[in-house]
Amino acid sequence: MTTQTTPLATRTLGTDPARTRTVSTIALGAMLMGTRTDEDTSFAILDRFVEAGGSFIDTSNNYAFWVDGTRGGESEALLGRWLRSRGIGDEMTIATKLGGQPNAPTKTFSLDIEVQSAAGIRAAAEQSLERLGRERIDLYYSHVPDDRVEIEEQVEGFAALVADGLVHLLGVSNHWTWAVERARNLAAQRGLPSYDVLQYAHTYLASRTDQPTLRSPDGQIGIADGSVLSYVRTNPGLTLVAYSPLLSGGYVRDDRPLGSRFDHVGTPARRTALDEVAAETGATPNQVVLSWLIGGRTPVVPLVGASSVAQLDETLAAATLELSADQRARLDAAGTE
């Protein structure tokens, strides 16, 4: 496929007509910008994204502490420098997160992370705004659950940022679906804004969710399983943003094994269907995955990183890949027997 030249399509974030954002159907992840991806390369990728009509960039206050043993903030700071140098303002939607920043410099993930109390939420937002050089965060996520703080306090803390004009839209990432529903119900009962965007790991291959993790002994909490997908589908206006949709190169690189998450009987059938559709369309498996996500039964916004402009161009080309009804049906059905 050729380099993308047609501007990316758009979709609207937000359920309140008074508070929406129009964003590109593909989001650019900036996680490693400012650390593993140097500034010149990062700026070139960001410039190309804007040139192609991209208007949705994702980061977090803890990116990427594990690279250099910091507390994070390097990605936000780089985006701030890029926004200022290019004179880019409100037309670009910048999403960031709080909740996963370590309390001390480290290169390992642990449970010693910031507290999402009302005061902690506000302090983190103010620090992110300073690094980004902005007066308002367009989309602000709770990055991970915080069982140390009551959901009511978190709901009120996030809503206060919206009321004060520091945040436009709210999102949640890597939470149990019941907790998202409880928070949204509490907010609705009190007439407060709540989560309009959900961000979870989601891709074409179905992932196991039964494997315990350090943060979640009950299983992997950050996967867009059936409960997440059906929740978004039955709540019009909610948007699902899919992180790691290309499995860090796992679809196209032999040196990137898929791992135990995909070690089950459905994976070979879905992999075969994906390869067949890629051959029929002349697209790469990555492009087919992204097209499948964008136009699926539960449409999502893929969140894709890039370490080079060439890699980004492959991603952008997926926005114009049209899968036939038959191809989509075969992809959907594979591995479901």
pLDDT tens string 180-202: 999 999 999 999 999 999 999 99
SS3 letters for 18-60? Answer: CEEEEEECCEEECCCECCCECHHHHHHHHHHHHHCCCCEEECC
| Average pLDDT of span 167-182 | 97
| Average pLDDT of span 103-114 | 95
List, for residues 12-54, the tens digit of each pLDDT value: 999 888 899 999 999 999 999 999 999 999 999 999 999 999 9
What's the length of the chain?
337
SS3 at position 315: helix
Q: Would you state the pLDDT for residue 2?
A: 38
Q: Would you state the pLDDT for residue 6?
A: 62
Compute the mean pLDDT over every residue in the chain, rounded to the nearest whole number. 95
So where are the chain's domains? 21-255+286-320
Backbone angles phi, psi at 82, to 5 degrees: -65, -45
Residue among 298, 295, 251 nearest 273 (CA): 251
Does residue 4 have a pLDDT over 50?
Answer: no
List, for residues 246-278, the tens digit of each pLDDT value: 999 999 998 899 989 999 999 999 999 999 999
Whole-structure pTM value = 0.95
H/E stretch holding 240 reads strand 239-243
Q: Would you state the pLDDT for residue 218?
A: 83
Q: Would you state the pLDDT for residue 3?
A: 45
User: 118 with 156: CB under 8 angstroms?
Assistant: yes
Least confident of 70-79, 103-112, 204-213: 204-213
> Exposure pattern of 210-240 as b/e (b: 16+ CB <10 Å)?
eeeeebbeeebbbbbbeebbebbeeeeebbb
Q: What are the structure tokens assigned to 51, written together?
A: 């040139």
Q: How far apart are CA 238 and CA 232, in angstroms?
A: 6
- For the segment(s) 21-255+286-320, the CATH number from 3.40.50.11540, 3.20.20.100, 3.40.630.10, 1.10.630.10 is 3.20.20.100
Q: Would you state the pLDDT for residue 78?
A: 98
Q: Would you state the pLDDT for residue 102?
A: 97
Does residue 5 have a pLDDT over 90?
Answer: no
At residue 1 the predicted structure's pLDDT band, cuts being 50, 70 and 90, is: very low
